[in-house]
C-alpha cells in the first residue's frame, strides 16, 4: 500500500493528476520526474509529510497528466508551475522539482521571484552547452526519432526502472509508471528535453537574477545527468547549497532516507 492517493483536477483546461498529504504548514509542491510519476515520492512521502503539507503533481504531458504541446519546454513549464501553485492557493510553498523539474523550477523562480519559499532541485540538465550522459544525451541530440517511435510504449520505463540502484520498486509504483505510457507518449515528451540546447542557454543568463534559496541534490554516480550540472548551478545561483550523495540518477529512491533528510533540514532552515 502507498500513502499516495491520486486524484485529478483541471488547471488551465488541462486534466492534471495530483496527490495531497495531511494538511500541515508550510506547504510543499512536489513535481514528478521523468519517466516516473508522483509515485517517485513513495519512498520519501511519510518523512516529507511530517514537515510540510505535500501536493505532488504530474507535470502536464508527464505521468498521468494531460499533454499540451505548447508546454513542452522548461520555460513554459515554469510558467505553468506558477499556475499550479495559484490553482491550489498555495502561499509561498517550498518547491521540489528533481530531474526535468530542475530547469522548469528555475524558470518559475525567475518569473515569480517571491512566489516560492525555497526550491529543491538536481539530477536535471542545466549547463549550456549540454553536459549529459546516456541515454539523455541521445534523447536531446539525435536527429532521427524513428528508432524511438519504434520502441514499445513501456520499453523506456522498463530500461529506466532497471537502472534504479539498490531499491526494489513496490509493485503499485512500478505499475503506475508503466501505466503512464501508451502509444507515442514518450516520443511526444522528448520535445521537452530537446528544447534544452536553446532553453538552457536562456536560463544561464537568468541564473544570477534568481533570489529564491535553492538546495541542489545530485547522485555522485549519476551517469544520466553528471554532477557537473548541479555544480554549475551552485556556482551561478546567488543563494544555493549543494549536496552530492551516494546514489545514481534516481537519488530520491536510491537513497531515499538521505534525500528526505536533506530536504526536511532545508525546509526547517527556510
Per-residue pLDDT for 195 more than 90? Answer: yes
Eight-state DSSP code of residue 17:
E
pLDDT confidence bin for 155, thresholds 50/70/90: confident
For 58-150, strand residue ranges (E) read 94-98, 118-122
Per-residue pLDDT for 131 more than 90? Answer: yes
* Contact status, residue 66 vs residue 39, Cβ threshold 8 Å: no
**What local confidence, expressed as pLDDT, does residue 190 receive?**
96
Q: What is the DSSP string of 73-109?
A: SHHHHHHHHHHHHHHTT-SS-EEEEETTHHHHHHHHH
pLDDT confidence bin for 182, thresholds 50/70/90: confident
- pLDDT (average), residues 83-88: 98
**What local confidence, expressed as pLDDT, does residue 116 receive?**
98
**What local confidence, expressed as pLDDT, does residue 66 receive?**
97
Would residue 183 be called left, alpha or beta, if left means φ above 0 and alpha means ψ between -120 and 50 degrees?
left
Bond preceding residue 233 cis, omega within 30 of 0: no
Sign of torsion over alpha carbons 65, 71, 77, 79: negative
Eight-state DSSP code of residue 207:
G
Whole-number average pLDDT of the chain: 95
Instruction: Find, among 234, 250, 232, the residue nearest to 242 by Cα.
Output: 234
Give residue-wise pLDDT tens across range 92-102: 999 999 999 99
- Side by side, which strands form the sheet with 94-98? 7-11, 14-20, 53-57, 27-31, 94-98, 118-122, 214-219, 240-245
**What local confidence, expressed as pLDDT, does residue 154 receive?**
81
- pLDDT (average), residues 104-123: 97
Distance separating alpha carbons of residues 157 and 87, to the nearest angstrom:
30
* Contact status, residue 223 vs residue 248, Cβ threshold 8 Å: yes
Distances (CA, A) of 153 to 107, 150, 178, 185, 187: 30, 9, 9, 7, 9
Task: Decide: pTM greater than 0.95.
Answer: yes
Distance separating alpha carbons of residues 88 and 86, to the nearest angstrom:
5
- pLDDT (average), residues 230-245: 98
Eight-state DSSP code of residue 65:
S
How far from chain centre, in Å, is Cα 240? 18
Amino acid at each position: 500500500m502507498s500513502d499516495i492517493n491520486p486524484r485529478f483536477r483541471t488547471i488551465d483546461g488541462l486534466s492534471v493528476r495530483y496527490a495531497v498529504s495531511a494538511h500541515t504548514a508550510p506547504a510543499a509542491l512536489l513535481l514528478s520526474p521523468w519517466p516516473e510519476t508522483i509515485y517517485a515520492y513513495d519512498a520519501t512521502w511519510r518523512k516529507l509529510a511530517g514537515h510540510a503539507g505535500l501536493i505532488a503533481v504530474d507535470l502536464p504531458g508527464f505521468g498521468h497528466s494531460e499533454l499540451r504541446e505548447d508546454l513542452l519546454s522548461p520555460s513554459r513549464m515554469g510558467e505553468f508551475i506558477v499556475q499550479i501553485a495559484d490553482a491550489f492557493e498555495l502561499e509561498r510553498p517550498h518547491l521540489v522539482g528533481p530531474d526535468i523539474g530542475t530547469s522548469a523550477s528555475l524558470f518559475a523562480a525567475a518569473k515569480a521571484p517571491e512566489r516560492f519559499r525555497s526550491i529543491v532541485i538536481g539530477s536535471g540538465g542545466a549547463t549550456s552547452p549540454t553536459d549529459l550522459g546516456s541515454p539523455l544525451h541521445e534523447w536531446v541530440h539525435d536527429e532521427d526519432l524513428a528508432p524511438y517511435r519504434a520502441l514499445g510504449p513501456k520499453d523506456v520505463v522498463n530500461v529506466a526502472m532497471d537502472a534504479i540502484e539498490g531499491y526494489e520498486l513496490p509493485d503499485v509504483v512500478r505499475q503506475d509508471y508503466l501505466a503512464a505510457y501508451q502509444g507515442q507518449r514518450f516520443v511526444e515528451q522528448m520535445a521537452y528535453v530537446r528544447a534544452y540546447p536553446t532553453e538552457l542557454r536562456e536560463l544561464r543568463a537568468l541564473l544570477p537574477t534568481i533570489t529564491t534559496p535553492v538546495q541542489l541534490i545530485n547522485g555522485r554516480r549519476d551517469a544520466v545527468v553528471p554532477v557537473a550540472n548541479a555544480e554549475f548551478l551552485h556556482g551561478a545561483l546567488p543563494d544555493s547549497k549543494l549536496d552530492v550523495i551516494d546514489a545514481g540518477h534516481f537519488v530520491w529512491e536510491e537513497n531515499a532516507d538521505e534525500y528526505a533528510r536533506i530536504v526536511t533540514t532545508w525546509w526547517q532552515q527556510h
